[in-house]
């Protein structure tokens, strides 16, 4: 099994994703440079957080044109697992691998703090280690995490159960106050139709070690490793 972490110019959570995969869950991982046109030999690709290309125009708007993104698209079309965290989620939306867009936060300010999210589905390759309805404390850190899409897309996301995480209060109730950025339907993370691409604004890699005060994000990476192991076995 091998993970790949893409480095765009301006990525800054690349080392964090690398650390959690290599040191916390102990799996093989390589960095992938944004100028690469082919990505071979990987089982899962992580698009890390950061400010790709400075994100001066619109988050993820330039990164989608990176040579590596064409390869990531092909990889996902072949069923490869792709996880986009924060800026990675924004890039996935810009690249059309996920629907919708991430707008400026409701209060127009960058927000960095622990938030509660509710696991809406525990039957995905990303969340199999959680329980349905489980409440996780995971940090967010973004200026543009306000998920938006048109009504038809939202209806599709809801009816196809593609919303994987929602912001909620400590009791698991989805409220206006518990939404840190104004996302529609308190969306914190969604998948594509096929379920192999997940984009999420919260940073599970920042909540995977007790030294950092919270381990709620660790099960996401363990779930991924578990799912990949099963997929590899199936292929063999």
Partner 1 sequence: MITPEILDQHNVTPDEYERIKQLMGREPNLTELGIFSVMWSEHCSYKSSKVHLRRLPTEGECLVQGPGENAGIVDIGDGWCAAFKIESHNHPSFIEPYQGAATGVGGILRDIFTMGARPVAAMNSLRFGPIRDEEVDDSREQASSRSVARNRRIMAGVVKGLGDYGNAFGVPTVGGEVSFAECYSLNPLVNAFALGLVRREHIFYGKAEGIGNAVIYVGAKTGRDGIHGATMASAEFDEAAMEKRPTVQVGDPFSEKLLLEACLEAMRAGAIVGIQDMGAAGLTSSSCEMGARAGTGLEINLDLVPQREAGMTAYEMMLSESQERMLIVAKRGHGRQLMEIFHRWDLDAVVIGQVIAEQRLRVLHKGEVVADIPNKALTDEAPRYNRPQRPFAVSTEDVTPKIEAAVSNLKSQAGGESQVFTEILRRLVASPNLASKRWVYRQYDHMVRTNTVVPPGSDAAALRVKETRRSLAMSLDCNGRYCHLNPREGAKLAVAEASRNVVCSGARPLAITNCLNFASPERPEVMWAFSETIDGMAEACRALGTPVTGGNVSFYNETEGAGVYPTPVIGMLGLIEDARHTTTQWFKEAGDVILLLGVTRNDLGASELLSVVAGEASGAVPLLDLEAEKAVQKVCLEAIQAGLIRSAHDCSDGGLALALAESCFSSYSRNAVGARIDLNEHAKLSGLRLSPALLFGESPSRIIISLKPEHVSEVKGIAQRAGAACAVIGEAGGEELSLACDGKPLIEASVASLEEAWRNALPSHLDRPA
Q: Is 149 part of the annotated catalytic residue set?
A: no
Task: Report the residue number, 109 or 229, with the smaller CB distance to partner 1.
Answer: 109
Shortest distance (Å) from residue 15 CB to partner 1: 7
SS3 label, residue 150: coil
Shortest distance (Å) from residue 221 CB to partner 1: 13
CA-to-CA separations, 92 to 97, 131, 178, 198, 222, in angstroms, rounded? 5, 26, 25, 9, 22
Residues near partner 1 (CB under 8 A):
9-10, 12-13, 15-16, 19-20, 49-51, 53-56, 107, 109-114, 139, 141, 143, 203, 205-206, 209, 211-214
Neighbours of 22 (CB within 10 A): 15
The one catalytic residue among 86, 93, 149, 168: 86
Q: Is 114 part of the annotated catalytic residue set?
A: no
Distance CA(177)–CA(172), nearest Å, equals 12
Shortest distance (Å) from residue 207 CB to partner 1: 9
Task: Report the residue number, 118 or 142, with the smaller CB distance to partner 1.
Answer: 142
The backbone torsions φ and ψ at residue 65, rounded to the nearest 5 degrees and listed phi first, read: -90, 0
Give the CA dihedral 230, 20, 89, 155, nearest 10 degrees. 50
Q: Is 214 part of the annotated catalytic residue set?
A: no
Task: Report the residue number, 35 or 77, with the smaller CB distance to partner 1.
Answer: 35
Task: Report the residue number, 58 or 193, with the smaller CB distance to partner 1.
Answer: 58
Shortest distance (Å) from residue 231 CB to partner 1: 27
DSSP 50-105: B-GGGG-SSTTTTGGGSHHHHHHHHHHHTT-EEEEETHHHHHHHHTTSSSSEEE--
- Annotated catalytic residues are 86, 203, 205
């Amino acid at each position: 099994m091998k993970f790949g972490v893409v480095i765009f110019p301006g990525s800054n959570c690349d080392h964090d994703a690398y650390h959690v995969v290599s040191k916390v869950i102990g799996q093989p991982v390589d960095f992938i440079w944004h100028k690469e046109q082919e990505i071979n030999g990987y089982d899962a690709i992580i698009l890390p957080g950061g400010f790709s290309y400075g994100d001066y125009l619109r988050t993820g708007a330039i990164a989608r044109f990176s040579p590596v993104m064409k390869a990531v698209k092909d990889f996902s079309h072949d069923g490869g697992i792709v996880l986009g965290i924060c800026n990675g989620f924004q890039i996935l939306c810009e690249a059309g691998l996920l629907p919708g867009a991430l707008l400026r936060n409701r209060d127009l300010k960058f927000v960095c703090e622990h938030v509660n999210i509710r696991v809406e589905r525990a039957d995905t390759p990303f969340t199999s280690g959680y329980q349905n309805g489980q409440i996780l404390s995971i940090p967010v850190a973004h200026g543009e995490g306000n998920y938006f899409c048109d009504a038809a897309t939202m209806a599709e996301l809801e009816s196809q159960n593609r919303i994987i995480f929602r912001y909620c209060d400590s009791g698991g109730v989805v409220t206006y106050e518990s939404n840190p950025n104004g996302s529609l339907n308190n969306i914190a993370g969604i998948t594509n139709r096929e379920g192999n691409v997940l984009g999420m604004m919260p940073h599970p890699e920042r909540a995977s070690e007790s030294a950092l005060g919270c381990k709620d994000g660790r099960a996401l990476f363990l779930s991924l490793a578990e799912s990949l192991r099963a997929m590899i076995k199936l292929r063999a």
